[in-house]
């Protein structure tokens, strides 16, 4: 807890290979710099950054504490319900609204690590996107870093090492998260080889890059959600919908749920 109001925070290491030019890193003396930033604008679907700690070459972000933890943990703790609920769909809407917001910057902010472990659930069962430690602004005159994020959520162009990817890579990862909301399982957990053996990460990634393998959905998944997820996971980045269009589709699907 920090400050006079005893704010509870989460701590995240966002060092990411600090350069020697960092202020805290270049100082020969060991010291800690703590910065606490007042929250001036509340973005409901983003975990707020309260401040940061700089110590030598380490940079640590202080995020607001979100009481129900990561979406991945909640999904793993219970089997998927027989049908999608309004609560499940609202979580998906919250996440895509977060991407709508960060992609609206000029240049767009690409999250680059969009996965269920980086979605936090509040006490009101609403979702907040967090962990912007490897996020980067997309600029026409700069290339993106390869090999970031967690492999099973990554878009093919990121896995293959392309430096010319954009915010559409986040949409691919969002499609993977939709599969998790449907099945409650880790992506590709049911993937098997020609002899019925469980596929390892290396084989999964090779097939994901070529487009021959995608996460699966249950037959009870709403068709609009399944079709949207598969579109988000299109092999061609240009075929993937933009975040606002995805948000619109999910809100329309919400109206059809009883």
Give 131-144 pLDDT, tens digit per residue: 765 445 444 434 44
Helix 243-256 × helix 223-232 angle, to 10°:
170
| Residues 167/244, Cβ–Cβ less than 8 Å | no
CATH number of 71-256: 1.10.510.10
Distance CA 214, CA 212 (A): 7
Q: What is the CA radius of gyration of the chain?
A: 19
Distance CA 247, CA 243 (A): 6
Give 65-97 pLDDT, tens digit per residue: 678 889 999 999 999 999 999 999 999 999 999
pLDDT grade for 1, boundaries at 50, 70 and 90: very low
| CATH 1.10.510.10 intervals, the chain | 71-256
- Which sign does the torsion angle of CA 209, 115, 244, 38 carry? negative
pLDDT grade for 156, boundaries at 50, 70 and 90: very high
Q: Which residues are catalytic?
A: 113
Distance CA 44, CA 46 (A): 6
Phi, psi of 100 (to 5 degrees): -55, -45
Distance CA 47, CA 54 (A): 20
pTM for the full predicted model: 0.76
Distance CA 59, CA 165 (A): 26
Report CA 60 to chain centroid distance, whole Å: 19
């Amino acid at each position: 807890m920090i400050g006079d109001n005893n704010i509870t925070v989460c701590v995240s290491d966002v060092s990411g290979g600090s350069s020697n030019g960092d202020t805290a890193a270049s100082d020969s003396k060991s010291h800690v710099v703590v910065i606490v930033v007042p929250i001036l604008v509340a973005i409901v679907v983003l975990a707020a950054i309260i401040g940061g700690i700089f110590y030598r070459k380490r940079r640590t972000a202080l995020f607001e504490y979100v009481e129900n933890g990561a979406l991945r943990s909640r999904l793993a703790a219970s089997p998927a319900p027989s049908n999608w609920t309004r609560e499940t769909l609202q979580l998906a809407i919250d996440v895509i609204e977060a991407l709508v917001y960060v992609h609206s910057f000029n240049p767009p902010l690409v999250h680059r690590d969009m996965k269920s472990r980086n979605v936090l659930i509040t006490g009101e069962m609403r979702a907040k996107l967090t962990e912007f430690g490897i996020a980067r602004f997309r600029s026409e005159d700069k290339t993106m870093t390869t090999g970031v994020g967690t492999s099973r959520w990554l878009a093919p162009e990121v896995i293959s090492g392309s430096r010319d990817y954009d915010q559409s890579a986040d949409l691919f990862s969002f499609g993977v998260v939709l599969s998790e909301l449907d099945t409650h399982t880790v992506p590709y957990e049911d993937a098997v080889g020609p002899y019925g053996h469980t596929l390892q990460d290396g084989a999964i990634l090779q097939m994901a890059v070529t487009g021959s393998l995608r996460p699966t959905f249950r037959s009870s998944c709403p068709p609009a959600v399944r079709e949207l997820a598969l579109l988000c996971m299109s092999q061609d980045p240009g075929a993937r919908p933009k975040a606002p269009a995805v948000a619109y589709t999910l809100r329309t699907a919400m109206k059809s749920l009883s």
